Structure 1
Amino acid sequence: MQDKLTDSVTPQPWRLCKRVLPQHTDHAGVMWHGAYVAWLEEARVEALAAAGLSYSAMATMGVEMPVVAMNLEYRRSIRHGDQIVLESHCGSQSGVRWPWRSCFLLDGLVMAEARVELVILGRGRLLRQPPEAVRPALSALQGGPSNTLE
């Protein structure tokens, strides 16, 4: 088990900085599991927007990317007030799935890791290939940002 992140998830990960607020925690001040899921989604939405495509534009096209699998491994407790950096990488399409890998970092320490798989639906039907209008953004997602999201 890796304790300190010495190599990024990817040479250019997507980054989202978040502070743990009271609404993210349980009564003991520990980050609630549902907040992890919400932050993972926020990171994907923000990365896609930075790559040139908003989720609302995708919805207008009739395209969705629902989560079909998720694995979240907790290593250390994240607590109220912690400033977390969520580093994410969009992998290459594998069959119909689009994998994401993310790390929740506190001062360079890996607090949790997540693997999320999405599929692309067009008007409710599973698509083996993304629509032409979505391809440039998905390609940009795989390459990582030129700067970080804050």
Structure 2
Amino acid sequence: MDKQQQLPPTTAIIEDHALHATTDKWFEYVVRVHPHHTDYGGIVWHGAYVAWMEEARVECLRSLGINFADLVGVGCDLPVVEMSLRYHRSLRMGEVAMVKTRMMEMKGVRINWAYQIQNLDTNELCVSAFVTLVAMDRDKGKIMRRLPPAMRDALVKFSKQ
């Protein structure tokens, strides 16, 4: 029988000043606008952009060796605690977009991400956004004191690329 990995206690967040990472490297994720992404006029529904951002972030983490299912398996979740979006131009059914994401800053258990969604045909910026995640103990429903070591190490490594 496998022992479930134990998470550190969540009684307080410890500020780790040595763990401060940022990156200038963008992770790129291509999407095509399908009918279910749009309203009746063929314009992308605003929530589709948020879903694409989530997909891009999960794929970025996967590319770093962080499988989201593994995080859940050790009792860690990364809920969004803050989000800011600016809509610049609409995308339409059939168009192709590039969703770009990068980690802007990691301070303790807070991870700030930036996004740009561009129309690949016109190269126009359609959406810019910022999202803040925190590491949360799924079982206790509390913010963790520290990121799981494998995740922390992968994000620090990513920030140095």
* TM-score (norm. length: structure 2): 0.77
Q: Distance in 1 between matches of 2:118 and 2:71?
A: 30
Q: What is the CA-CA distance between 1:127 and the residue it aligns to? A: 2.0
**Alignment correspondent of 1:133:** 150
Q: What is the CA-CA distance between 1:125 and the residue it aligns to? A: 2.1
**Alignment correspondent of 1:112:** 127
Write the deviation string for residues 16-47 of structure 1: whole angstroms up to 9, x where unpaired.
Answer: 00000000000000000110111111011101
Residues 136 and 119 (structure 1 numbering): CA distance in 2 closer, same or farther, change over 3 Å?
Answer: same
Tell me which moved more, 47-56 or 95-104: 95-104
**Alignment correspondent of 1:74:** 87
Q: Distance in 2 between matches of 1:53 and 1:112?
A: 26
Q: Distance in 2 between matches of 1:11 and 1:87?
A: 11
Equivalences, count = 135
Q: Distance in 2 between matches of 1:143 and 1:69?
A: 25
Matches within 5 A, 1:1-150: 11-94=24-107, 96-107=109-120, 108-123=123-138, 124-143=141-160
* TM-score (norm. length: structure 1): 0.83
Asked if the contact 1:89–1:142 (Cα under 8 Å) also holds between the matched residues in 2, the reply is: no
**Alignment correspondent of 2:10:** none
- SS where residue 79 of structure 1 aligns? coil
Write the deviation string for residues 83-112 of structure 1: whole angstroms up to 9, x where unpaired.
Answer: 100111112223542111000011322111
Q: Distance in 1 between matches of 2:101 and 2:31?
A: 13
Q: What is the CA-CA distance between 1:143 and the residue it aligns to? A: 4.5
Residues 27 and 103 (structure 1 numbering): CA distance in 2 closer, same or farther, change over 3 Å?
Answer: same
Percent identity among equivalent residues? 38
Q: What is the CA-CA distance between 1:138 and the residue it aligns to? A: 2.1
Tell me which moved more, 135-144 or 44-53: 135-144
| Higher Rg of the two aligned structures | 2
Amino acid paired to 2:64: A
